């Protein structure tokens, strides 16, 4: 009956269970552990705990590890339970007694946390760049398709004339709103916990200002207890930022999946983004956008996963925090892949040009008919009534020629204002 038992003994299971996926996942933070160790060694040298000579050896050995990390050549073999024991062991092999000093006045707790903080800062910076790139693309697409109308829907009902210019720029502006949360997550990550030890500091004479400065943190997490409380909070903050962005990208994908249907038929998706059916030769399934939607929806649940795991634990470290890596790191990777794919796909979106004149969309101009009557002096209530009667009696003729003037409307998209808004945000 054991459907996937691999024959491990219970003791092996316990070892596997406690180590978890640390060996695989810690590769992501190996570089940052080495960077933080360099700062720690420099500081310990400055306060007289490590000699200049030993520090020289440590700096070289750590630089070499960083190089291997960047070349993708750093591996955590089975002799080590995590990246921290692996790096420490390497340092001892290469530098002897110097390596034995590196853990002075540091605990595993602040060591992991500082590496995670540095990692998240880089991740969030990269993600922010990609999102800004996608925003620019959306504004350009809005410009490119500014004259192409589409029905605007409310209650899933074709309601009023809309346009792809407004649609593309809508997503640009909404992604910009989401970036406010990414910036908040960055600020949470931009606090140095190094020196807080196991969450209660140390009686050794360390200088936390030094490591804060060398590592480029904007702030110090001053209280040692408070620094440790960032564990979980900082991961969740990043998850919240990803979730907010994902909500917008999921909605955009949902629109595109529908716009690609035979019933709406507004867009033609890039060929690489659709697949055929093994039994229905007429279909062009929008798989990439369905999967983008699915992954973005799953990512929206991440903050809840994290909260469920870390909630109702009193202050202080709990081993529970370890498993956050297991369900956070891979989705973070996936999210940036999605951004890459959209950056590739969106420029290739084509708009069909034959759908607006279908009779089923005649009704969307009733507001224009009403506005037209308003301009000739009829009151709104009368105009509404008259157009309503014409719809009921079948004499309604859609008033398709109209002209909007206000910012953010079909004929005045306000793209320059949107570009200025982006610039105010991004500062470039």
**Residue numbers 264-323 binding a copy of itself by CB under 8 A:** 264-265, 272-273, 275, 277-288, 290-291, 293-295, 297-298, 300-301, 303-305, 307-309, 311-323
- Of 67 and 261, the one with the shorter C-beta distance to a copy of itself is 261
* CB-CB contact of 283 with 257 (8 Å): no
- Of 4 and 52, the one with the shorter C-beta distance to a copy of itself is 4
What is the rounded radius of gyration, in angstroms, for the C-alpha atoms of the chain? 29
Judged by CB under 8 A, the residue of 46, 222, 400, 426 near a copy of itself is 222
* CB-CB contact of 368 with 161 (8 Å): yes
Interstrand relation of 219-220 and 191-192 (parallel, antiparallel or unpaired): parallel
- Residue 80 interacts with a copy of itself (CB under 8 A)? no
Judged by CB under 8 A, the residue of 133, 378, 409, 426 near a copy of itself is 409
- CA nearest neighbour of 411 among 112, 161, 184: 161
Q: Taking contact as CB under 8 A, which single stretch among the options 34-42, 51-59, 60-68, 234-242 is the one that binds a copy of itself?
A: 234-242
In the range 129-148, which residues lie near a copy of itself by CB under 8 A?
129, 142
Judged by CB under 8 A, the residue of 56, 68, 268, 363 near a copy of itself is 363
- Of 114 and 257, the one with the shorter C-beta distance to a copy of itself is 257
DSSP state of 411: T
Those residues whose C-beta lies under 8 Å from the C-beta of residue 57, and which sit 6 or more positions away, are 94, 95, 96, 98
Shortest separation between residue 65's beta carbon and a copy of itself, angstroms: 16
Tokens of 100: 């034995």
Shortest separation between residue 223's beta carbon and a copy of itself, angstroms: 4
For 162, the enclosing helix (H) or strand (E) is: strand 157-163
CA separation (Å) from 394 to 315, 355, 363? 70, 22, 11
- Residue 237 interacts with a copy of itself (CB under 8 A)? yes
- Residue 200 interacts with a copy of itself (CB under 8 A)? yes
- Residue 238 interacts with a copy of itself (CB under 8 A)? no
- CA nearest neighbour of 36 among 102, 81, 96: 102
- Of 86 and 293, the one with the shorter C-beta distance to a copy of itself is 293
**Rounded Cα gap, residues 68 and 90, in angstroms:** 13
Shortest separation between residue 256's beta carbon and a copy of itself, angstroms: 9
* CB-CB contact of 179 with 131 (8 Å): yes
Shortest separation between residue 188's beta carbon and a copy of itself, angstroms: 5
* CB-CB contact of 321 with 310 (8 Å): yes
Shortest separation between residue 291's beta carbon and a copy of itself, angstroms: 6
What number of helices (H) and strands (E) belong to the chain? 17, 6
Residue 160's DSSP bridge partners are 152
Judged by CB under 8 A, the residue of 125, 147, 347, 423 near a copy of itself is 125
Shortest separation between residue 67's beta carbon and a copy of itself, angstroms: 15
Q: Would you call 157 helix, strand, or coil by DSSP? A: strand
Number of residues that bind a copy of itself (CB under 8 A): 184
Packed helices 164-189 and 108-144: angle between N→C axes, nearest 10 degrees: 160
Shortest separation between residue 61's beta carbon and a copy of itself, angstroms: 19
Judged by CB under 8 A, the residue of 37, 40, 95, 250 near a copy of itself is 250
- Residue 255 interacts with a copy of itself (CB under 8 A)? yes
Judged by CB under 8 A, the residue of 67, 205, 216, 347 near a copy of itself is 205
Judged by CB under 8 A, the residue of 75, 333, 347, 423 near a copy of itself is 333
In the range 3-62, which residues lie near a copy of itself by CB under 8 A?
3-4, 6, 10-11, 13-14, 16-18, 20, 28
Shortest separation between residue 409's beta carbon and a copy of itself, angstroms: 3
* CB-CB contact of 364 with 158 (8 Å): yes
Packed helices 52-70 and 83-95: angle between N→C axes, nearest 10 degrees: 130
- Of 94 and 372, the one with the shorter C-beta distance to a copy of itself is 372
In the range 148-167, which residues lie near a copy of itself by CB under 8 A?
152-162, 166-167
* CB-CB contact of 133 with 191 (8 Å): no
Residue 163's DSSP bridge partners are 149
């Amino acid at each position: 009956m054991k459907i996937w038992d691999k024959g491990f003994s219970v003791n092996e299971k316990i070892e596997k269970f406690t180590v978890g996926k640390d060996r695989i996942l810690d590769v992501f933070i190996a570089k940052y552990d080495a960077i933080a160790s360099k700062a720690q060694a420099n500081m310990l040298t400055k306060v007289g705990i490590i000699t200049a000579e030993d520090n020289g050896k440590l700096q070289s050995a750590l630089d070499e590890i960083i190089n291997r990390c960047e070349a993708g050549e750093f591996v955590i073999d089975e002799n080590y339970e995590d990246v921290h024991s692996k790096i420490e062991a390497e340092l001892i092999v290469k530098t002897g007694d110097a390596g034995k000093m590196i853990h002075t006045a540091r605990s595993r707790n602040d060591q992991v946390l500082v590496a995670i903080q540095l990692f998240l800062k880089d991740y969030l910076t990269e993600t922010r760049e990609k999102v800004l790139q996608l925003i620019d693309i959306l504004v350009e697409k809005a410009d490119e398709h500014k004259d192409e109308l589409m029905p605007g829907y409310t209650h899933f009902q074709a309601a009023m004339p809309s346009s792809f210019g407004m649609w593309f720029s809508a997503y640009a502006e909404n992604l910009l709103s989401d970036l406010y949360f990414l910036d908040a997550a960055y600020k949470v990550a931009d606090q140095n916990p190094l020196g807080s030890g196991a969450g209660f500091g140390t009686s050794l004479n360390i200088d936390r200002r030094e490591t804060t400065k060398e590592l480029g943190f904007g702030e110090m997490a001053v209280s040692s207890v408070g620094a440790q409380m960032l564990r979980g909070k900082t991961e969740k903050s990043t998850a919240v930022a990803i979730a907010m962005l994902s909500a917008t990208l999921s909605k955009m994908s949902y629109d595109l999946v529908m716009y690609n249907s035979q019933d709406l038929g507004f867009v033609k998706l890039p060929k690489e983004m659709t697949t055929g059916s093994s039994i229905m030769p007429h279909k062009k399934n929008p798989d990439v956008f369905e999967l983008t939607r699915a992954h973005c929806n799953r990512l929206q649940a991440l903050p809840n996963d994290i909260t469920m795991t870390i909630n109702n634990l009193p202050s202080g470290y709990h081993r529970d925090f370890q498993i956050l890596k297991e369900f956070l790191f891979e989705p973070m990777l996936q999210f940036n892949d999605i951004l890459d794919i959209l950056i590739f796909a969106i420029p290739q979106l084509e708009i069909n040009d034959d759908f607006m004149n279908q009779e089923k969309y005649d009704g969307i101009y009733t507001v224009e008919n009403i506005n037209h009557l308003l301009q000739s002096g009829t009151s709104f209530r009368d105009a509404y009534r008259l157009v309503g009667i014409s719809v009921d009696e079948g004499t309604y003729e859609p008033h398709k020629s109209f002209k909007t003037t206000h910012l953010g409307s079909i004929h005045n998209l306000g793209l320059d204002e949107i570009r200025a808004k982006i610039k105010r945000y991004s500062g470039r």
